[in-house]
Structure 1
């Protein structure tokens, strides 16, 4: 079909009348443009599928607007976007936008004039700005971490140098305990005085002693008597011991009663008579003629009986003897009973523990006696803290003060194991390979007392190079005050 057969199309018309037509005015051109738009809209409605028209919102999708007028309208709308009053006034004067809105109102039944004229309310969402890191931010953080690491390394070097020079960082610096000032009125006196200071005590009107709401009354409270804690833990009273003569007398009486009972049973025929107890001393008296006839056979028989009696004696003793497991259980039970009587504490100050045998005896006896505590070894002196029952503590006290010879020094059996930490002051030899002089070495008991519970779970030892490390180890058991006591003990 040719273009001339489409009178309602939007394309240019090539008929002869149009070539010789005079120049049209602006109003005529606008009217012709409106007619073409209406014709296009009418044809688009007929082009729907299944002879159904398009949705009103999609009717103006194919409309065409002149380029010049569209750009001008867009620029004008952008200039009026910030001023709603000017934009509304421009629409009332008959702008192209008002014409399009009127046409949409006529063709779109779902368009609401009230909602279209409402101004947007609420806070408009603003786009989030990008935040960039300042130049050198992470470089500064890295420099700060490096400075901190260098400071820690310098502190360690200073501590090592002061230890080697013999100057401890806190040699003469002890803890200063700050005591708070007493309050103006103690809490136990607040119920007796109407005031905030003790100056109100002189005023009889402010005392609450004889008042009705006073906490002081004429009644006496008798607290319930409690059983002393020590009586429950005490061991039961043992029977009085007998002298040797009394014990012998009781033994004779008991054996005499048993012999008479056995003789009565034999006389009644309840028990067979035992064979004669033949020895080498009563051989001739018991056997008589048989010993004279064949003395060799009789002597061999007597020796066999003596050996049988000895074997039975040994078997009876072995049957009564406890096994190793039973012996350990019995010892542990006795040590627990001893600890239930109360926990005692001993603190020893030792000048030097360079001798490995001394360290072994301290550790081994503490484990055998079921004692808990610690041994803090320091270049200047060592501190030993033990806690346990009274019996075990008494034996350990004798060990530390009497049995161990602290002035002795012997060669180490295994030098590498003895000096595994690399501390020269723990080695029994000096730099020249000679044994150190231990003539001034001594052990002193600086504290002995009793406490409620154990502060250490088991026995252990720790090597500390500085006073700060030693206090930190003892602070875990809340016994760091013993280190200050040992430093000031002479």
Structure 2
């Protein structure tokens, strides 16, 4: 069926009945050209630029050049040429001026800024995009973080070194270096004219017979004092007797007491004691009474035996010392022991993580009336104890023989809940397991006599650093013991 020839319902394609539509492509090209001119005038360049002085996308470079093409444009042009073949061709429109404003117009613009660049200036060549590898800046950031952490660690170590005095601990031998002898001894300063012994062979350089000499004809007799070691001399030991000699002396003493008692009874000074009846001499002492009523006599004898035993027990209880008297007697004996001479012991212990070890150290020192100090340190522990000879001997046995330093027991509830207790003083590690004390040991690093006590009482101190430990010991002038402990392996 021919759509063009039939008078049906289809659209009519004759040139007279068709509505002429405006050329949309020409309007679009005109609008784009005007937009490009405005952009070029604003930026001051003959070529349109994008934001931040960056070149436009390649697809926008030919905004002012309209190129007829496309399926729709070709169809419209073909249909127009087919239906309007009899019409005259349209006249060519004049092209738009895309050159932009002139230099005079730009300079006359009140908003023109010469610092932004002249119209004829060479445009800045944009650099090509260079894509970085994945993770490049992450690696650089990690490197910077590691370097910053390393610098912070160095500063922290330096500050800690200045604080705890590690520089001094690095070379412990420096603490034991003997100083060089002086140029002249202090006892020769008043006899030698000079500051050294260079002119000692010259008699004129000696102050022996001169007016300002310290050697005179007068003799100084110092005040006589008792030698201090005499008070430590033990008393003479008594003569010990054999068991046979002791029994003989006992018989003689009891016989003398018995004779004295019998003399008092004869003189009527004391009443005669009742007969001492026992089951063995019952018949011999009582005689007829025992024959008449043996049951009553036996009961009487049993009562007398019980009375004598009760009296004996009562006398023993009266002679027994009370608790206060025992403490007073023990304190008096300990004072006598200390008066004979004071002794000092210094122990080094690797670890005091076991709470029972700390308890035994403190309670035995208190019971033996010892004075001193316990320094608890993460690396080593120092025990300084002083007292009488008897007390020191028992404490030495405790530390070296009785205590098992390799044993470790779980902490008590009191220590486990104590947040102030340091982690290195607890029996468990951070994972809750018992620490291994197989290498723990106690060593005696010093033993000797001293003139007087350096401590007034027994105490303990927790020191985190070596400087704190030395500061505590320096109050008693015993900081050298800490260096001695560090050099002892």
Q: Would the TM-score normalized by the shorter structure come out above 0.5?
A: yes
Counterpart CA distance in 2 for 1:170 and 1:187 is 30
**C-alpha displacement at 1:236, in angstroms?**
4.0
**C-alpha displacement at 1:389, in angstroms?**
1.4
Structure 1 runs not aligned, ≥5 long: 1-150
Q: Deviations over 1:177-203 (max 9, x none)?
A: 697765544443343334444222222
Matched, 1:364 2:363: yes
Q: Deviations over 1:278-326 (max 9, x none)?
A: 1223223322332233333222222211121112112212222222222
Q: What is the TM-score with the length of structure 2 in the denominator?
A: 0.61
Paired residues of 1:351 and 1:382 also in contact (CA < 8 A): yes
Counterpart CA distance in 1 for 2:417 and 2:340 is 38
Counterpart CA distance in 2 for 1:156 and 1:327 is 56
1:192 corresponding residue in structure 2: 191
Question: 1:345-356 counterparts in 2 under 5 A?
Answer: 345-356=344-355
Structure 2 runs not aligned, ≥5 long: 1-151
1:298 corresponding residue in structure 2: 297
Counterpart CA distance in 1 for 2:216 and 2:370 is 51
3-state SS, counterpart of residue 460 of structure 2: strand
Matched, 1:379 2:378: yes
Counterpart CA distance in 1 for 2:485 and 2:370 is 21
2:320 corresponding residue in structure 1: 321
Counterpart CA distance in 2 for 1:197 and 1:158 is 44
Paired residues of 2:415 and 2:421 also in contact (CA < 8 A): no
3-state SS, counterpart of residue 199 of structure 2: helix
Q: 1:371 to 1:289 in 2, by over 3 A?
A: same
Paired residues of 1:347 and 1:385 also in contact (CA < 8 A): yes
Q: What is the TM-score with the length of structure 1 in the denominator?
A: 0.61
Paired residues of 2:172 and 2:487 also in contact (CA < 8 A): no
Q: Which has the higher helix share?
A: 1
3-state SS, counterpart of residue 346 of structure 2: strand
Counterpart CA distance in 1 for 2:289 and 2:411 is 69
Matched, 1:338 2:337: yes
Paired residues of 1:193 and 1:207 also in contact (CA < 8 A): yes
Counterpart CA distance in 1 for 2:158 and 2:195 is 55
Counterpart CA distance in 2 for 1:255 and 1:245 is 16
1:476 corresponding residue in structure 2: 475
Counterpart CA distance in 2 for 1:282 and 1:420 is 75
1:232 corresponding residue in structure 2: 231
Moved more, 348-357 or 421-430: 421-430
Q: 1:303 to 1:418 in 2, by over 3 A?
A: farther
Matched, 1:309 2:308: yes
CA RMSD, Structure 1 to Structure 2 (Å): 3.3
Paired residues of 1:356 and 1:418 also in contact (CA < 8 A): no
1:451 corresponding residue in structure 2: 450
3-state SS, counterpart of residue 412 of structure 1: coil
**C-alpha displacement at 1:213, in angstroms?**
5.9
3-state SS, counterpart of residue 291 of structure 2: helix
How many residues in Structure 1 have an aligned counterpart in Structure 2?
Answer: 334
Counterpart CA distance in 1 for 2:251 and 2:442 is 52
* 1:172 aligned to which of 170, 174, 178: 170
2:249 corresponding residue in structure 1: 250
**C-alpha displacement at 1:228, in angstroms?**
0.8
3-state SS, counterpart of residue 344 of structure 1: strand
